[in-house]
Amino acid sequence: MSGSADPVGMRILVIDDDPAILRSLHTFLTDRGHRTFLAEDGTKGLEILRQESIDITITDVVLPTLDGFEVLKQARTISPGTEVIMITAHGDVETAVRAMRQGAFDFFSKPFRVEDLQAALQRTERFQALRRKADRYRQNLDQLATAARQRHGLSSIIGRSRAIRTVRELIQQVCQTEDTTVLVCGETGTGKELVARAVHTEGTRALGPFVAVNCSAVPATLVESQLFGHVRGAFTGAGGAHKGFFELANGGTLFLDEIGDMDWAMQAKLLRSLEGTCVRPVGGSREIPVDVRVVSATNRDLPQAIAQGKFRQELFYRLNVFTIRIPPLRERKEDIVPIAEHYMREFSRELRKPIKGISPDATARLEGHHFPGNVRELKNLIERAVIVCKGDRITRSDLEFQEVIIAGGFNPAELTHLSLDAIERAVIEEALRRSGENQTRAARLLGITRRQLFTRLKNHGL
């Protein structure tokens, strides 16, 4: 074996009560570029290990004061990164097995050939290099997980109200489980996806994928293929195999947003996949195992939808294992200013504007607004305010509240006694009236896509 293959520059501790072996190993190792430390008994060897950074310890089994197994035991505590190679003049299978079980990296008997020692050192160095690489990967993953928690974890759920503290507590509780299905309920714009991401990020699946699906945006004819995938030739145009959202989310979280808008027939197929741990691609003959946590979200009153025959009761029970309800912003007004200040800092940083705060008159205006669009409306409002702000504080004049479509001339407070479905139907009817029954313009007024509007028209029988 050529000298170029030798490990270079390691720090090696040799413990042996035979001076001749200490001298020969010292010569052998230093000739190959290593720095050696020598000890004639276990106690002195451990003292060196405490004081020096050692890559490899080569120790005899039979030693005065402390034997090699005690050295091995204490070395693992003193210097976990140091690998131990054990040698003995009384080698047998039982001793070798004991050494390996207790954590020795290698073991061989006296007399040994230098080629055996050289090979052992090379194996040890390669192992340590792989371990350092794994440690770097693990450190990078930990950094990514920390960054994800800072951006999408509990800290992203902003507010000081009792209601929002309850939301955070529920997230912490469900994160102690790995597979429990979660249903997030709340009006449009309350931050349901933020909660879903926090459940993913704070849980054991944080390093797995987070796959978000807007159920109302996927055509009914493609939902099955999108969720479960398809094989080549499964239907016209299926030129190749396609992984579905369940398979893409394997090892992580699948977020089904607007689950209340899912087609009735597709609800049954989703239920079957939730009850098992496998999915079958469209056109496929075999099932594919998947490991996902399903988090769904809706702004609909699902019990009411069940009563109307629009949502399957058995699917509701399967999704509703653990429910997190996000109250609308109008019910937690003490959260308005903290959220506004958060977005002010975020947009000021992005736009490189030296805005330091929000003036008292602007704060009073924000707290007096009903926010029918909830947090999403507040975020957009602050983004615009940061853009137009000319000083170091957002003032009342920087706030421009958008027109909100209210049906029948009601003001927001008068709508609070109605169900969400009734409010949505009334708003859609008003948008259609204002747009002259033009669905494209009505969708634009509502801030949704034409397909989403079509789904809602169908749900309300309009």
Indicate the pLDDT class of residue 188, thresholds 50, 70 and 90.
confident
- Rounded Cα distance between 281 and 6, Å, is 52
pLDDT above 70 for 5: no
Residues 6+ apart with CB under 8 A from 206: 145, 148, 149, 200
Average confidence score pLDDT of the chain? 84
Tokens of 38: 């020598």
- Percent of the chain at pLDDT > 90 equals 34
Q: For the ranges 127-131, 316-320, 328-332, 343-347, which has the lowest average pLDDT?
A: 127-131
Range of 59-63, 133-137, 386-390, 441-445 with top mean pLDDT: 386-390
pLDDT of 145 reads 55
Reduce the DSSP state of residue 406 to 3 states and report it. coil
- Percent of the chain at pLDDT > 70 equals 89
- Rounded Cα distance between 157 and 170, Å, is 12
Residue positions counted in the chain: 462
Range of 156-170, 213-227, 231-245 with top mean pLDDT: 156-170
pLDDT of 240 reads 77
CA 433 to chain CA centroid, nearest Å: 44
pLDDT above 50 for 2: no
Residues paired with residue 39 on neighbouring β-strands, in sequence order: 15
Q: HSE (CB half, 13 Å, CA atoms) of 443?
A: 13
Indicate the pLDDT class of residue 182, thresholds 50, 70 and 90.
very high
Which amino acid would we find at residue 459?
N
SS3 content of the chain, % helix, strand, coil (to 5): 50, 15, 35
Tokens of 333: 């007004």
Indicate the pLDDT class of residue 314, thresholds 50, 70 and 90.
very high
Phi, psi of 77 (to 5 degrees): -85, -45
pLDDT of 141 reads 64
Tokens of 15: 């413990």
What's the burial of 387, exposed, middle or buried (CB within 10 Å: 0-12/13-18/19+)? exposed
> Which domains occur in the chain, in start order?
3-131 (3.40.50.2300), 153-327 (3.40.50.300), 330-398 (1.10.8.60), 407-459 (1.10.10.60)
pLDDT of 296 reads 96
Q: For the ranges 136-150, 224-238, 342-356, 388-402, which has the lowest average pLDDT?
A: 136-150
- Rounded Cα distance between 10 and 320, Å, is 59
Q: Pairing state of beta strands 35-39 and 11-15?
A: parallel
Q: Pairing state of beta strands 288-289 and 278-279?
A: antiparallel
DSSP per-residue codes, 352-399: T----EE-HHHHHHHHH---TTHHHHHHHHHHHHHHH--SSEE-GGG-
Through-space distance between the first and last CA atoms of the chain, rounded to whole angstroms:
83
Reduce the DSSP state of residue 185 to 3 states and report it. strand
Per-residue CA distances from 123 to 6, 58, 118, 308, 410 (Å)? 10, 14, 9, 69, 79
CA-closest candidate to residue 181, choices 112, 259, 122? 259
CA-closest candidate to residue 198, choices 238, 170, 233? 170
pLDDT above 90 for 355: yes
pLDDT above 60 for 462: yes
- Rounded Cα distance between 36 and 22, Å, is 10
Residue with tokens 């169900």: 419
Number of H helices, E strands in the chain: 18, 14
pLDDT digits (tens, 9 = 90+) for 239-295: 777 888 999 999 999 999 999 988 888 888 888 878 767 888 888 878 888 899 999
The 8-class DSSP code of residue 327 comes to: P
